[in-house]
Amino acid sequence: MLDPNQWFSEVAADDGSAFSLKVCEKLHEEQTPFQFIEIYATEGFGNLMVIDGCTMLSSRDNFLYHEMMSHPALFTHPAPRRVCIIGGGDCGTLREVLKHPGVESAVQIDIDEGVTRLAERYFPELTAANHDPRAQLLFEDGIRWIRKAPDGSLDLIVVDSTDPVGPALGLFSRDFYAECLRALDTHGILVQQSESPLYHLRILQEMHGAMRAAGFADTQTLSFPQPIYPSGWWSATLAGKAVALADFRVVDAECKPFETEYYNAGIHRAALAQPEFVRRGLAAIVETRD
> Cβ of 158: how many Cβ atoms within 10 Å?
27
Contact 253, 201 (CB under 8 A): no
**Nearest-CA neighbor of 106 among 74, 129, 83, 73?**
83
- Give, to the nearest 10 degrees, the angle between helix 201-214 and helix 276-289: 30
Q: Radius of gyration over alpha carbons of the chain, in Å?
A: 18
d(CA 28, CA 37): 8
Q: Which DSSP category does 173 fall into?
A: S
3-class state of residue 39 by DSSP? strand
What amino acid positions are annotated as catalytic residues? 160
C-alpha to C-alpha distance for 50 and 116, rounded to whole angstroms: 13
Task: Report which residue type is found at 258.
Answer: F
Whether residue 28 contacts residue 118, with contact meaning beta carbons closer than 8 Å, is answered with yes
User: Could you tell me the CA-to-CA distances from 70 to 10, 17, 92, 260 in Å, in that order?
Assistant: 26, 29, 10, 11
